[in-house]
Structure formats: structure tokens, C-alpha cells
Amino acid sequence: MAGPGLRVRLFLLAGLLALCCAAYLSLGVRGDWGFILAFRGQKLAALLLVGFAVSWATVIFQTITGNRILTPSVMGFDALYLLLLTGLVWAIGARTYQGLPPQGMMVANVVWMCGASLLLFRVVLRAGEGDMMRLILTGVVLAVLFHSLTAYFRRVIDPNEYAVVQAASFARFSNVDTGLLAVATGFCLAAGAAVWRMRYRLDVLPLGPVLSTSLGEPPHKAQWQVLLLVSVLVSVSTALVGPVAFFGILVTSLTYLIIPSARHGDLLPAAALIASIILVGGQTVMERLLDLSTPLSVVVEFLGGLIFLFLLLRSLR
């Protein structure tokens, strides 16, 4: 292994993240520090949660599907969340929807999402087993289907009601929904603890279905649990900042590059740190230095999209 050791790399990443957080909280503060720190602190917490949720969801999804190109968002997980949300507003009306407590709605959305994605992606993963191209195609087709259905619901609901959904439909790192922080933190902690307990089992799965069965970890068992956890994590990040298509692949590609280890005990913390550095560091630069002239989501999606294309073309060769 060239360069600094694993521990050192993790500590460097943690240090870098601490620097980014400090810069985000303190740069350009004018006026009442107490108010500004509390205000920025909430947004910071939301960014950290999103970094955590997206990175862990992507790492464990890539482990069970045995590839490093697909991410939950490419396979249409966040499109499904938006479809469920839009469908709900269409069914019960925006006024009723807004009258309900947002935290309660988020819990309901997460439960919905888990059920729907288990049903759908179980079938898709089974059908595309071992066939990368079929898996990608099915995922892309599903994502398009979800987007079109969402667009259909948008047209049938009242434009004023649609405004409720609209805010949720685009990636927005500057305008985070901080009202949901407590519920989101709860979900992240629960899902995170479950993933962390699975980390050794996740190490066995890349050996392939035959060897992992031989070692007593048949892949179909873990697939259920991982899909459930991915659904929870994606719901959290989509509820907080909207759909992010290529952020996950940007994070995992960097993680595999920086961390020369196949152990999830190393990969998971590193991925969460890298994702948070990109979000907090990027947001600091965009908000404080560039005065929001370019949204961070555009930069992140552009870079992530390039990496996706690069990996896809390389795998086809």
C-alpha cells in the first residue's frame, strides 16, 4: 500500500471535515453570533445527515448488486419517493397534506417507500442478476416511468397544490428542510446502526453468491435487509434536499480511490466523511465565496455524471 496508512487517511478526512464545518459556521458572520450559529448549525446538521445517508445507501447498494456503477438514484429510488409524495398530495389534496404534521408525514412516507421499493426492486434485482446491462436498463426504464407518472400527477393536480410538491422535486442544498431534522436524525441513527452491525456480513458478499453461501451468508438474506435500509436512507436524503442523481457515485468512486481496503468497517466511515466534505466544503465555497452564483447541486451532479459515464464506458470495453 502506497502513501499514508488507513488510520491516517481516515484521520486526515475527519480533520478536513472539521475544517469545512468550522469554515461553514464562521465565515462572513456579521451581527449576532448566537443567532447565526444556531441558524447555520441546523443547516450544517442537515448537510451532514444527507452526506451520511447518501454515502451509506450507495456503498451498501453497490455491495449487494456487486457493481460500482449503479447507485440507488440511478435505479430510480428517489424518483419513486417523489412519485409517492406527489401521488399522496394528489390523493388527499394539498390542504389536508399541509395540515398534517410534517414529521408524521415523513414517517409515513418512509414506511410507504420501504414497502414499494422492496416490492419493485426485489423483482428487478432478481431478474437482472449477473447481467449488468439488463440491470442498468431496467433501472433507467423504471426511473423514467416514475418520472412520467409523477409528471402525470402534476398535471392533474391543481397548480396551487402542485407548489407544495414542487419544492421537493429539485435538489437544493442551500434551502434545506430543517423542520424535519429530528425525525431524519432518528431514521439515520436507526438505519446507520443496522448497517454498522451488518458490516462484516457485507464484507463477505463481494466474494460472489457461491462463496458467500459456502461461508454461511446466502446473499438473498442480506439483499432484503439492505434494500430496506437503502429505502430509509434515500427517503431521508430526498426529504431533506430533494433528489440527487450522481452524488452517490461521485462519493463512492472517491472512496474506493482513497481507501485501499475492501472492509466495510473502513469504507463506510470514509464514504460518510468524503460525502460530508463535498457537501459542507462545497456549500461553504458556493454560499460564502461565490455568493450562490452557482448551485452546488449543479457542480456535484456534473462531476458525478462525468464519473458515471467514464465508469460505464470503461465497463463496456
Q: By CB under 8 A, name the binding residues for another protein.
A: 66, 199-201, 203-204, 206-211, 213-218, 221, 260, 262
Residues 247 and 47 sit within 8 Å (Cβ to Cβ): no
Q: Which residues of 169-186 are buried (b: 16+ CB within 10 A; e: fewer)?
A: bebbbeebbeebbebbbe
Minimum CB distance to another protein, residue 214 (Å):
5
Residues 181 and 53 sit within 8 Å (Cβ to Cβ): no
- Non-local (6+) Cβ contacts of 236 within 8 A are 49, 50, 53, 110, 184, 187, 188, 191
Closer CB to another protein, 226 or 303, in the complex: 226
Closer CB to another protein, 148 or 214, in the complex: 214
Closer CB to another protein, 86 or 255, in the complex: 255
Cα distance between residue 210 and residue 86, in whole Å: 42
Minimum CB distance to another protein, residue 58 (Å):
16
Closer CB to another protein, 156 or 210, in the complex: 210
Minimum CB distance to another protein, residue 210 (Å):
4
Residue 31, classed as helix, strand or coil, is coil
Cα distance between residue 58 and residue 271, in whole Å: 9
Closer CB to another protein, 152 or 196, in the complex: 196
Minimum CB distance to another protein, residue 312 (Å):
17
Closer CB to another protein, 66 or 305, in the complex: 66
Closer CB to another protein, 285 or 311, in the complex: 311
Minimum CB distance to another protein, residue 245 (Å):
24
Minimum CB distance to another protein, residue 263 (Å):
9
Amino acid found at 178: T
Residues 311 and 256 sit within 8 Å (Cβ to Cβ): no
Give the residue carrying C-alpha cell 429510488: 77
Cell output for 215 = 461461508
Minimum CB distance to another protein, residue 187 (Å):
25
DSSP label at residue 72: T
Cα distance between residue 191 and residue 3, in whole Å: 33
